[in-house]
Chains A and B, each alone.
Chain A
Amino acid sequence: MWFRTIFRRRDDGSTANGGRGRSGLRAPLRAASGAARAEAPLFDEAFLRRMERMSLQAQRTLRGNPSSGEHPSRHQLPATIFSDHRPYSSGDDLRYVDWNAYARQDHVLVRLGEAEQDVNVHLLLDASRSMTIGRPPRLRLAQQIVGALGYLALAHSDRLHIVPFGPAALRPFGPAQGKGRLIEMLRFVERLAPQGDTRLAPVLQQHARRHPQGGLLVLCSDLLAPDSLEEGLRALPPPRWQTLVLHLLDQRDLQPEIRGPVELEDSETGQRLALTLDDATLQSYRRSVAAWREALGRICARRGATYAPLMSHWPLEQQVVPYLRARRLLG
């Protein structure tokens, strides 16, 4: 395969791309965050081969460009494989005139077929410092997901936008189309650096203003932002936007492993909070987290977005991908 050289391991003795190629192509396979930088690569070769058989499931209502792409469009165009007819009008291509129908019905009809289009795929990646907390860090799973979804978008000729954000949107990747941008995309994802705090609503509103055409938007975040998610989703109304909120959770967010007198420190703001954690307090905390997740699900449902919580320790291929297929993001 053409990307075989990309996934060559460090101890591989091949020199097909020379020294430049070795350092330039292998780097995107490494983890993006500081802690995970020395860990295993984001993907392996077999995983990407298996991912290529999948595709993003974009809604038909999305506005796309019918000149390329593989997603079904809500529009019908004259086609050889037809599914409907319409009366001929001046200017239609005579090659799509159904002459047999004209012979039987004495009407000139033009064969119409299903139109396909590409879509704008927006991958918004939360790169705040809170994403680096956890075992493994949430940012690593987010990088894997964004990399995998970006690969699918490029492989299926969609227009890909990757927007990392923290307190504000960072320099985006894209729009990009075609596999030729794959290396650049992976390198971009790999080089993401943790930012400060998270401002979710302004980032989503700003992104919606910049891309009025809409598209498929995947938000990878821990949603630990002081401002409301609902304000951001209000700027992404369906059917122009097909929004999927991937909520990255760490196991310790749900079941804290700390007890006794502690001083909690916010990883983003540095703010501290003194607490004495006992059974009653932790039970109350778990109830608060459950209520918070339910509230996020209700907000997403109310704003036409799909809410999909993900655990950071889930393996990408074994649990995350099947989960996304179950949530009809992947097909």
Chain B
Amino acid sequence: MTLLAPLGLLALLTLPVILILHMLRERRRRVVVPSLLLWQLMPRRQEAQRRRRLPLTLLLFLHLLAAALLALALARPQWSFGFFGGERHLAIIIDTSTSMAAPAGGFAGSRLDAARARARELIAGVGPRGSATVISASSSAHVLDAAGTDGADRLIAALDGLVAAGTGTDLRGALTLAEAALQGRPSARILVLTDGALPTAEDLVGRPAPVAVEWLPVGGPADNRAIVALAARPRPGNAPVQVYARAVNYGAAPLRTVLRLYGDDELLDTRPVDLQPNGEAELTWAVPRGISMLRAELDGADGLPADDSAAVSLAQTRPIRALLVSAQPAALERALRAVPGLELRIEDPVAYAGAAADLTIFDGYLPDRWPAGAVLVVRPPAGAGLLTVSPQAREPTPEAAALRPGPSPAAELFEGVSLSSVQFGPVRDVTPPDGFVIALSRGEQPLVLRGRAGASEIAIWTFDLGQGNLTTRLAFPLLVARTVRDLTPPPLPAAALVGETVSLEPDSRATEVELAAPDGRVEVVALTPGQPLSLAFDRPGVYTLAERAGNQTLYTGQFAVNAGAPVESNLAPRDLPAPPPRTPDAQGAGDEQRALWPWLAAFALAVMLLEWLYVHGRRRALAEG
């Protein structure tokens, strides 16, 4: 039974008032007697004592009953009939963020283990006609499974597979999933098992919920210290790399510990760190270049060991092997050599035999088929089979015609690049192949095309670099560098948080990605051409990624996944937000909650009617007597 207006119970204060009134003025039945002569001889001593006692009369009972019923009715109680074996549908949201790996106070195991045990009890308590939906909520929310009593084993198995890994709790998403799962179900409830580390708690304020939400806190206070930030900034030239780390003490006692910094698993430095209660320390290093992976470690033995270490990758940049096929490569060569990490090889179009490269630039030349990888075509010739190019170059479009970027994201190439004074010269009309978009045009004349053909990422510049003045402008090397970055895969992230979804864009030639986890597990993911790869990592450590095209390994890189984050590493108990208010239309429609106040009020009226009949009958008897 739930009370919609608990303040209504204040009306129960009328009960002692009624008792006091009955004690103060006991209502006596009036009896007419011939004379009081004989009654006045009665002893009066006992009468005075009786007046202090509570008169247990039917009238008092009726008064108390009516007042109690009205007070209960004011509190607007609702009774759930699901407790009598009716339908009872639950959505159990389990917080699986990193902080749930901390020990649970009063439970032999982690907070996630305690939540898992509580969830098992809830699943077992679902009635024969009920159902349970288990939802995990960390960085994102997922429905693990939904079943009735017959599928309880399946639900419990899904619970066993939960891992506490994730930064943040997408509780809003989890509630949306739960409400969708319980829509139209009677006696529905959403139970949230969490330790209260809810970064989105503020978002829940004022969010109406069509289903009743109940917080079930798990866990207790625990001291913890963590490395919540580790970052590296390479500097140009051969200057050392700047490294920054921040360690935080989330305990109530001061702490003196040691932070060790490793470079490619070799100890680079050891620093003593003094951490005040709820204080932090910031440290910086300058490490020599050439190190691909940095790792910082604090002394462990705290509530959450996973956030005592952090790593960051320094070898993020992918090497690009570029092949320039041009008879007059001077301008492009200068611009390409300015691109960091790019290794350039130049061939004459006559000598081009389809050599493999990460990036192939054709200047005034087109092969019979697109080479795999990134391709930049400048001034495509007419008569080639891959593109339809007009034999005559059109007269330059008047300069008054404005440059028009194409649709996003192709147009992002030209953001911040000043092309307004550039003369592109005579331009051949190139018919965009299927799947290509016009990234830049002047009037009706396309200047830059962008698209994909098979395993090739292709950009086409329709203008002739030798006819215009682009190569003399500052925008030229900028445009070349951006085009190279757009055509080649982006570098791997230096580090990511546990549970964070990382979007990887592998080489366009790759057919699969092999991912090696820190614990040695290897996962091979098949690639869909042109589609980025989204991965979430549930364990902290260094992951190794290899992009393969058949038996050929195109690229191997590493990146780090860290568990330390302020929202997860702080294990202090938090106040759970108030349950979201229920929408008015869902008060009676979504579940079997039945309002009891009309029945209570009717019963109170019946009691008052009975009281009136009793009093009236007594007065009549008195009058007749």
Judging by beta carbons under 8 Å apart, are B28 and A261 in contact? yes
Contacts A261-B28, A274-B47 hold; do A133 and B42 have CB atoms under 8 A apart? no
Mask for B39-62, Cβ within 8 A of A = 1, else 0? 111110011001000010100000
A193 lies within 8 A of chain B by Cβ: no
**Bound Cα distance A262, B28 (Å):** 5
Residue of B nearest to A257 (CB): B625
B37: A residues at CB distance < 8 A:
224, 226
Contacting A at CB under 8 A, from B11-34, are 26-34
B301 lies within 8 A of chain A by Cβ: no
Judging by beta carbons under 8 Å apart, are A266 and B36 in contact? yes
Contacts A261-B29, A263-B28, A274-B28 hold; do A284 and B34 have CB atoms under 8 A apart? no
Contacts A281-B42, A281-B46, A284-B43 hold; do A264 and B36 have CB atoms under 8 A apart? yes
B26: A residues at CB distance < 8 A:
261
Residue of B nearest to A289 (CB): B38
Partner of B31, one of A130, A222, A262, A292: A262
**Considering residues B26, B40, B42, which has the most beta carbons from chain A within 10 angstroms of its beta carbon?**
B42
**Bound Cα distance A83, B40 (Å):** 59
Mask for A277-309, Cβ within 8 A of B = 1, else 0? 000110011001100100000000000000000
Residue of A nearest to B36 (CB): A266
A267 lies within 8 A of chain B by Cβ: yes
Residue of A nearest to B50 (CB): A276
**Bound Cα distance A224, B34 (Å):** 8
B50: A residues at CB distance < 8 A:
276
**Bound Cα distance A273, B41 (Å):** 11
**Bound Cα distance A253, B38 (Å):** 9
What is the CB-to-nearest-CB distance from B38 to chain A, in angstroms, rounded to a whole number?
Answer: 6
A101 lies within 8 A of chain B by Cβ: no
B420 lies within 8 A of chain A by Cβ: no
**Considering residues B32, B35, B46, which has the most beta carbons from chain A within 10 angstroms of its beta carbon?**
B35
What is the CB-to-nearest-CB distance from A167 to chain B, in angstroms, rounded to a whole number?
Answer: 14
What is the CB-to-nearest-CB distance from A9 to chain B, in angstroms, rounded to a whole number?
Answer: 29
Judging by beta carbons under 8 Å apart, are B47 and A224 in contact? no
Mask for B359-389, Cβ within 8 A of A = 1, else 0? 0000000000000000000000000000000
**Considering residues B34, B41, B47, which has the most beta carbons from chain A within 10 angstroms of its beta carbon?**
B34
What is the CB-to-nearest-CB distance from B56 to chain A, in angstroms, rounded to a whole number?
Answer: 11
Mask for A46-73, Cβ within 8 A of B = 1, else 0? 0000000000000000000000000000
Residue of B nearest to A269 (CB): B36
What is the CB-to-nearest-CB distance from B61 to chain A, in angstroms, rounded to a whole number?
Answer: 15
What is the CB-to-nearest-CB distance from B59 to chain A, in angstroms, rounded to a whole number?
Answer: 11
What is the CB-to-nearest-CB distance from A262 to chain B, in angstroms, rounded to a whole number?
Answer: 5
Residue of B nearest to A253 (CB): B34
Contacting B at CB under 8 A, from A119-156, are 130-131, 133-134
Contacts A263-B29, A281-B46 hold; do A222 and B38 have CB atoms under 8 A apart? no
Partner of B47, one of A260, A271, A276: A276
Judging by beta carbons under 8 Å apart, are B40 and A273 in contact? yes
Judging by beta carbons under 8 Å apart, are B30 and A262 in contact? yes
Judging by beta carbons under 8 Å apart, are A267 and B35 in contact? yes
**Bound Cα distance A286, B390 (Å):** 136
What is the CB-to-nearest-CB distance from A312 to chain B, in angstroms, rounded to a whole number?
Answer: 11
**Bound Cα distance A134, B625 (Å):** 9
Partner of A267, one of B28, B32, B42, B57: B32
Judging by beta carbons under 8 Å apart, are A133 and B32 in contact? yes
For the complex, count residues of B whose C-beta is within 8 A of A.
23
For the complex, count residues of A whose C-beta is within 8 A of B.
33
B36: A residues at CB distance < 8 A:
264, 266, 269, 271, 273
Residue of B nearest to A259 (CB): B29
Residue of B nearest to A271 (CB): B36
**Bound Cα distance A226, B36 (Å):** 10
B31: A residues at CB distance < 8 A:
258, 262-265
Judging by beta carbons under 8 Å apart, are B28 and A292 in contact? no
Partner of B34, one of A226, A261, A267: A267
**Bound Cα distance A130, B33 (Å):** 8
Contacts A273-B40, A276-B47, A284-B43 hold; do A262 and B35 have CB atoms under 8 A apart? no
A264: B residues at CB distance < 8 A:
30-33, 36, 39
B34: A residues at CB distance < 8 A:
130-131, 133-134, 222, 224, 250, 253, 266-268
**Bound Cα distance A271, B39 (Å):** 12
Judging by beta carbons under 8 Å apart, are A275 and B29 in contact? no
Contacting B at CB under 8 A, from A222-261, are 222, 224, 226, 250, 253, 258, 260-261
Partner of B33, one of A260, A267, A274: A267
**Bound Cα distance A275, B46 (Å):** 10
**Bound Cα distance A269, B35 (Å):** 8
Partner of A268, one of B35, B43, B55, B57: B35
**Bound Cα distance A276, B46 (Å):** 9
**Bound Cα distance A269, B39 (Å):** 14
**Bound Cα distance A285, B39 (Å):** 7
What is the CB-to-nearest-CB distance from A252 to chain B, in angstroms, rounded to a whole number?
Answer: 8
Contacts A273-B39, A285-B38 hold; do A280 and B46 have CB atoms under 8 A apart? yes
Mask for A195-223, Cβ within 8 A of B = 1, else 0? 00000000000000000000000000010
What is the CB-to-nearest-CB distance from B39 to chain A, in angstroms, rounded to a whole number?
Answer: 6
**Bound Cα distance A253, B39 (Å):** 10
Judging by beta carbons under 8 Å apart, are A266 and B35 in contact? yes
Judging by beta carbons under 8 Å apart, are A224 and B35 in contact? yes
A267: B residues at CB distance < 8 A:
32-35
Mask for A23-59, Cβ within 8 A of B = 1, else 0? 0000000000000000000000000000000000000
B27: A residues at CB distance < 8 A:
261
What is the CB-to-nearest-CB distance from A224 to chain B, in angstroms, rounded to a whole number?
Answer: 4
B57: A residues at CB distance < 8 A:
260
Residue of A nearest to B44 (CB): A275
B43: A residues at CB distance < 8 A:
284
Residue of B nearest to A131 (CB): B34
Judging by beta carbons under 8 Å apart, are B41 and A262 in contact? no
Partner of A275, one of B32, B35, B42, B55: B42
**Bound Cα distance A275, B37 (Å):** 14
**Bound Cα distance A174, B30 (Å):** 41
Judging by beta carbons under 8 Å apart, are B29 and A262 in contact? yes
Judging by beta carbons under 8 Å apart, are B35 and A292 in contact? no
**Bound Cα distance A134, B46 (Å):** 29
What is the CB-to-nearest-CB distance from A206 to chain B, in angstroms, rounded to a whole number?
Answer: 22
**Bound Cα distance A226, B41 (Å):** 13
What is the CB-to-nearest-CB distance from B191 to chain A, in angstroms, rounded to a whole number?
Answer: 55
Contacting A at CB under 8 A, from B238-270, are none
Partner of B42, one of A222, A258, A285: A285
Given contacts A267-B35, A273-B39, 13 further A-B contacts (CB under 8 A): A130-B35, A224-B35, A262-B31, A263-B29, A263-B30, A265-B30, A265-B32, A266-B36, A267-B34, A271-B36, A275-B47, A280-B46, A281-B46
30 CB contacts below 8 A, A to B, read A130-B34, A130-B35, A131-B34, A133-B32, A224-B35, A226-B37, A258-B29, A260-B29, A260-B57, A261-B27, A261-B28, A261-B55, A262-B31, A263-B31, A264-B30, A264-B36, A264-B39, A265-B30, A265-B31, A265-B33, A267-B35, A269-B36, A275-B42, A276-B46, A280-B46, A281-B42, A284-B42, A288-B38, A289-B38, A292-B38
The 3 closest A-B pairs by CB, nearest first: A130-B34, A224-B35, A263-B28
